[in-house]
Amino acid sequence: MLSSCVRPVPTTVRFVDSLICSSSRSFMDLKALLSSLNDFASLSFAESWDNVGLLVEPSPPHTVNTLFLTNDLTEEVMEEGLQKKADLILSYHPPIFRPMKRITWNTWKERLVIQALENRVGIYSPHTAYDAAPQGVNNWLAKGLGACTSRPIHPSKAPNYPTEGNHRVEFNVSHTQALDKVMSAVKGIGDVSVTSFSARFDNEEQTRISLNCTQKALMQVVDFLSQNKQLYQKTEILSLEKPLLLHTGMGRLCTLDESVSLATMIDRIKRHLKLSHIRLALGVGRTLESQVKVVALCAGSGSGVLQGVKADLYLTGEMSHHDILDAASQGINVILCEHSNTERGFLSDLRDMLGSHLENKINIILSETDRDPLQ
């Protein structure tokens, strides 16, 4: 009897101990969490027209115990998030996109903001930053095609390379007195970084000046040089292009390891997206038995990204009527799955990736009410 009473004690102790450890780890400061989210996928990858990042912020300090993931933040999803004690909602699509002139109870998006602030819930949206990211939405969508190699259709550019400014001005100065005047003048212009090195021109030792500057600063530099032509020679003005990021960008062009019939590809896509139906436009001269080797895809709305891309198949959520006609006329098959159906499944992968990235410091849960509005 004594031994049977004693045996459960270690189990109970371990259980209580694990609860204590779990509760002590299960929160993050909002600012620290935002920094970690940006490390996971930089907001600099987002398109310039997009509205990404922290959209609603409770008064600081704000700690996050539960991160709630959804593709679209509707009122129904907000109610679910509040019931599940969310501290931060990560909504893939930004619920605030166009500027709001007032916050009242009249429209559903205004009501979302009111409910979030009243309940101290932050709202964060990554949108096209996650589209472009190497481990993002388009990469997930490509997984449903089968074994393939892929690259972005429109690669992103490195955000902070090679240097500040987008123009470089280089010229030679031959005399010390002229060099002092030039250096003094250009250093007085804002948004200009200056370097110099020795150069030889027409058997004469000279100093080569290199200026990196913004568009605005460039005009001031050119104005100075045009008024002091006697001070310099051998001038070049270069436009600095940021290098492309090979695995980051909009859309994916996927080349299958082995060709498959269009019918087989349709089955794969339906299985991956868990759909019973898709919409299909057959390219001119194509049938369900036509072979598919190259697939161009874009999660969400693909018209702009896919336009002009050579492929056997376009895969996206939605395209305009006339863009579909254009593609089909070129013999390109088009599969449409509705906008958010090409995005929502990524959230399950995202939950696992963020759990690992954040070292399981917070709870991460998926919305169960979020769904595409078209059935």
Backbone angles phi and psi of 30, in degrees to 5: -55, -45
- Judge whether residue 166 has pLDDT over 60: yes
Residue spans of alpha helices (H) in 202-292? 215-227, 262-273
For residues 87 and 65, is the Cβ–Cβ distance under 8 A? yes
Average pLDDT, the chain: 89
Q: Please tell me whether 118 is known to bind a ligand.
A: no
Q: CA torsion sign, 272 to 274 to 276 to 278?
A: negative
- What pLDDT sits at residue 18? 36
- What pLDDT sits at residue 273? 98
Rounded mean pLDDT, 20-25:
42
Long-range contacts from 178-186, C-beta under 8 angstroms, 24+ separation: 178/230, 178/231, 178/232, 179/207, 181/228, 181/231, 182/209, 182/228, 182/231, 182/232, 183/209, 185/224, 185/228, 186/211, 186/221, 186/224
CATH superfamily ID and name for 28-126: NIF3 (NGG1p interacting factor 3)-like (3.40.1390.30)
Q: Please tell me whether 339 is known to bind a ligand.
A: yes
Identify which has the larger pLDDT, 118 or 230. Answer: 118
| 167-239 shares the fold of 28-126 | no
- Judge whether residue 20 has pLDDT over 50: no
Which sequence spans correspond to the domains of the chain?
Answer: 28-126, 133-156+248-341, 167-239
Cis? peptide before 162, omega within 30° of 0: yes
Q: Please tell me whether 93 is known to bind a ligand.
A: yes
Length of the chain: 375
Cis? peptide before 95, omega within 30° of 0: no
Residue 79 tokens, joined: 């109610």
Rounded mean pLDDT, 3-8:
39
- Judge whether residue 253 has pLDDT over 70: yes
Spatial neighbors of 353 by CB under 8 A, at least 6 apart, are 40, 135
pLDDT digits (tens, 9 = 90+) for 105-117: 999 999 999 999 9
For residues 217 and 168, is the Cβ–Cβ distance under 8 A? no
Domain 133-156+248-341 is in which class? alpha beta
- What pLDDT sits at residue 242? 76
Identify which has the larger pLDDT, 331 or 162. Answer: 331
Residue whose pair of structure tokens reads 């605005």 in the numeric block: 216
Domain 167-239 is in which class? alpha beta
Residues of the chain with pLDDT > 70, as a percent, come to 92
